[in-house]
């Protein structure tokens, strides 16, 4: 059986690494792994040439500008990576007649709701990062091609830089830390998101090119928590004695606004692809186990 050739952008990031290390696909997927050094997605001619040269069957775009606070100062740079880049990939994918899966964020919403956001709720980003990610969604939808946008939230993993690894570092270095307790969301383990993305790929392959027009799906781990409760769980699971104190958003001001409530409704995704998405705490335990194994190999 012919291997599926997948062009992966942002391969050095935590989601890219999770996809590349996802078990069970080594015999069925030929990854064309790229990061900025191999492919600058903001350069349209470079993207078209790369797709023409490598002839992928699928594109998964994990490349993004994710420095939420820095985006307030570097809006144009963030917009170029989060909107122009995805547009170039979508146009190249359309030209080649192949699907594109693009990763977006809960930050496209205001965070002022009191019930989970569905795919049909009106976006209203409050900060520069969310605005550039929404701009990326809008240009992708306008292309009208074989596009799947997957919004996720509070992404973490054993790779790269993220909240989970920051808490482990602080938990080892500090006797006590303060963490915001009045921002509510659903942590998402990159390994689970990677598995969810590949379920979309498999579904499209088994349903004879099911992806034909732009669609949006929400994916995050099940359950709801705060950053404070997540940090408490990480300390407990990792066996760290660090004391965690709850803070309000006002007590921990940052340049960019954060959604106070960013729960994503995953019913649409679960009804089609994966009914049993893991509970968030179960996935934190899994991530910690993977992190300990990774440390032993280094």
User: Mind listing the pLDDT tens digit of every residue in the chain (298 residues)?
Assistant: 578 999 999 999 999 999 999 988 877 899 999 999 999 999 999 999 999 999 999 999 999 999 999 999 999 999 999 999 999 999 999 999 999 999 999 999 999 998 999 999 999 999 999 999 999 999 999 999 999 999 999 999 999 999 999 999 999 999 999 999 999 999 999 999 999 999 999 999 999 889 999 999 999 999 999 999 999 999 999 999 999 999 999 998 899 999 999 999 999 999 999 999 999 999 999 999 999 998 887 6
Q: Which domains does the chain have, with CATH numbers?
A: 4-162+187-222+262-278 (3.40.50.720)
Q: What is the pLDDT of residue 260?
A: 95
Measured distance CA(103)–CA(85) in Å, rounded: 12
Give catalytic residues, as residue numbers: 129
Pairing label, strands 184-185, 225-226: antiparallel
Q: What is the pLDDT of residue 298?
A: 62
Q: What is the pLDDT of residue 1?
A: 56
Q: What is the pLDDT of residue 294?
A: 87
């Amino acid at each position: 059986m012919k291997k599926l050739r997948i062009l992966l952008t942002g391969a050095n990031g935590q989601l890219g690494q999770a996809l590349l290390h996802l078990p069970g696909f080594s015999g069925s997927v030929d990854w064309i792994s790229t990061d900025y050094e191999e492919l600058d997605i903001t350069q349209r001619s470079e993207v078209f040439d790369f797709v023409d040269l490598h002839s992928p069957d699928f594109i998964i775009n994990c490349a993004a500008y994710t420095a939420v606070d820095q985006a307030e100062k570097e809006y144009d740079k963030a917009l170029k990576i989060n909107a122009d880049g995805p547009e170039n990939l979508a146009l190249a994918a359309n030209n080649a007649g192949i699907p594109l899966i693009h990763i977006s964020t809960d930050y496209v919403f205001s965070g002022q709701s009191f019930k989970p956001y569905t795919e049909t709720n009106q976006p209203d980003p409050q900060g520069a990062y969310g605005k550039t990610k929404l701009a990326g969604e809008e240009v992708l939808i306008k292309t009208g091609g074989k596009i799947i946008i997957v919004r996720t939230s509070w992404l973490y993993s054993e790779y790269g830089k993220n909240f989970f690894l920051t808490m482990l570092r602080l938990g080892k270095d500090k006797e006590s830390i303060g963490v915001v307790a009045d921002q509510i969301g659903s942590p998402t383990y990159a390994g689970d998101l990677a598995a969810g993305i590949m379920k979309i790929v498999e579904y499209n392959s088994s349903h004879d090119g099911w992806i034909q027009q732009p669609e949006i799906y929400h994916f995050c781990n099940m359950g709801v928590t705060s950053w404070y409760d997540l940090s408490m769980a990480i300390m407990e699971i990792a066996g760290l004695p660090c004391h965690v104190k709850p803070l309000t958003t006002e007590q921990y001001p940052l340049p960019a606004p954060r959604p106070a409530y960013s729960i994503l409704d995953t019913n649409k995704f679960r009804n089609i692809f994966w009914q049993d998405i893991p509970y968030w705490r179960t996935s934190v335990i899994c991530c910690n186990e993977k992190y300990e194994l990774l440390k032993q190999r280094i």
